[in-house]
Amino acid sequence: MEHYTAAAIFILTVAIMSAGIMVSVQLRSAYKTDFLSTLIFFQVFWFTFGFYVFWGKILIVLVLKGITESSILQIITNLTVYLGSPFLIFSGLMYLRFTREIAGRKFTGSFIAAYLIINILVFTIIAILSEKATIINRTSLIKHVFVLFYIVYTFTGLFYLLSGKKKRPALKKNDIRNLSAVLVIVVIIQSVLIILLYDKSIYFTLLFILIFYLLGIFLPFYLKYFADLSVYLIKEDVTATFDSFCESYEISKREKEIIYEICKGLSNQQIADKLFISLQTVKDHTHRIYFKTNCNSRTQLMRMVNANR
């Protein structure tokens, strides 16, 4: 039963991770801003950390339990933590870069160097301490280190977001406040859950991993569905022609014809009749257009086209 449950949760987490990264890529393609590129890197490092540390331990225990001595099993599971630590460090770096870019702050080489030096020293000390700890204490140490890391860097990012009054932020003030509030809620939920659920039992651990990945995709989904990014649509070549708009989003010739008819107010059936294609073909092209331009409706698509005329 444990194997089937783990397999189902694993498939779900892969789907969640893929959806989160896909939304981030769509946003970057549509709005072409630096902080959205950073968001993609943050997600990749964050999810990879989850696979090494959380999934690594689960898979090793399920496969090797009963056929490997507990001491050797513990050494192997510790190795997954060490392998995952660099991804945690770089996910924190990308998160801080993400918040600094939104706040309109520069991200310098000296900042990166200082960050890496401090984190490498801290994680080296923690690794030495964990080797001297018992199995129970080691698990507790890892959980509390993760929570401490999560809290410190989340609130450092919040400081950047909320203290950039003299800077020129990349998001509107209301969006920054809302994003900051959600980040606080997420860090509280994540921290409480890892203390209460992780390593209590296989099923509690799997539940924690599922929630870990769900919370890991809230940033791109918040930006896509709640934040106002329209300023970047207007910024991108305001004087560009309709042709250059289609070229920038890799719109095909047929898709271009359909966008043109949509902007004239024609329904899908009217477009199908005019272009001598089936209704389903029009719907398929429209779906691809929405995907390429990161639109959710005809109204949003027309607004984008008009902004780029």
Is the confidence at residue 177, as pLDDT, over 80?
yes
Q: What pTM was computed for the model?
A: 0.70
Lowest mean pLDDT segment, chosen from 81-85, 226-230, 232-236 = 232-236
Averaged confidence pLDDT in the chain: 83
What was the pLDDT predicted at 145? 81
What is the CATH code for 237-307?
A: 1.10.10.10
Each residue's pLDDT tens digit, 104-144: 888 888 889 999 999 989 888 877 777 676 665 666 777 78
At 31-80, the pLDDT tens digits run: 778 899 999 999 999 999 988 888 887 877 777 766 777 667 666 777 77
Does residue 234 surpass a pLDDT of 60?
Answer: no
Kindly list the domain boundaries of the chain, sorted by start residue.
Answer: 2-233, 237-307
Q: What is the pLDDT of residue 295?
A: 82
Is residue 22 pLDDT above 70, yes or no? yes
DSSP secondary structure letters along the chain? -HHHHHHHHHHHHHHHHHHHHHHHHHHHHHH--HHHHHHHHHHHHHHHHHIIIIIHHHHHHHHHBTTB-HHHHHHHHHHHHHHHHHHHHHHHHHHHHHHHHHTT----HHHHHHHHHHHHHHHHHHHHHHHHS-HHHHHHHHHHHHHHHHHHHHHHHHHHHHS-TTS--SS-HHHHHHHHHHHHHHHHHHHHHHHHTTTT-HHHHHHHHHHHHHHTTHHHHHHHHTS--HHHHHHTTTT--HHHHHHHTT--HHHHHHHHHHHTT--HHHHHHHHT--HHHHHHHHHHHHHHHT-SSHHHHHHHHHHT-
Query: What was the pLDDT predicted at 244?
Result: 78
